[in-house]
């Protein structure tokens, strides 16, 4: 999975604002992907994104593909994330590359949201609360 220069430039600042500064990068990347997946609006997979100055991360790092945690419990969220993306995007994910591409687009959108919404003095808990208050309620 690739990231953009924009994502890499803002990764440390966003991690600090989220309280993840001492955690691995994948935690912040997963959070950004989750922010994007929480939106009702589908991703435009035909949009051109420049990944040339970003980095490449293995799915083992981003989704825990094939991994166990330190206690030996399952830490592989690859299939779960693929199902969530397929559900959100209302389409079947047929290849690993399709899955990685969807992760890339959701990561980029998530970082765009976080970098435009959070300031150095932002209260992440207040921001999340405000975001939840804007979600439509279902009966």
Give pLDDT tens digits for 96-127. 999 999 999 999 999 998 888 766 655 555 55
Q: Are 30 and 114 in contact (CB under 8 A)?
A: no
- Residue 94 belongs to some domain of the structure: yes
In a domain, 139, yes or no: no
Q: Per-residue confidence at 139, pLDDT binned at 50, 70, 90?
A: very low
Nearest to 54 by CA among 93, 111, 15: 111
Q: Which domain holds residue 31?
A: 5-133
Domains identified in the chain, total number: 1
Give a yes or no: residue 49 inside a domain.
yes
Q: Do the domain assignments include residue 138?
A: no
Helix H or strand E segment including 37: helix 25-37
Taking alpha carbons only, the member of 12, 8, 32 closest to residue 23 is 12
Residue 10 has pLDDT above 80, yes or no: yes
For residue 41, being part of any structural domain is answered with yes
**pLDDT score recorded for residue 138:** 45
């Amino acid at each position: 999975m690739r990231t953009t220069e924009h994502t890499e430039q803002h990764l440390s600042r966003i991690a600090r604002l989220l309280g993840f500064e001492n955690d691995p990068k994948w935690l912040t990347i997963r959070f950004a992907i989750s922010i994007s997946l929480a939106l009702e609006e589908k991703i435009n997979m035909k949009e051109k994104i420049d990944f040339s100055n970003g980095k490449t991360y293995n799915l083992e790092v981003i989704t825990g593909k094939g991994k166990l945690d330190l206690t030996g419990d399952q830490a592989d969220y690859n299939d779960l994330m693929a199902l969530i993306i397929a559900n959100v995007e209302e389409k079947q994910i047929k290849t690993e590359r399709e899955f990685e591409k969807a992760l890339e687009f959701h990561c980029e959108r998530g970082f765009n949201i976080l970098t435009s919404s959070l300031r150095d003095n932002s209260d992440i808990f207040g921001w999340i609360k405000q975001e939840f208050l804007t979600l439509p309620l279902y009966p």
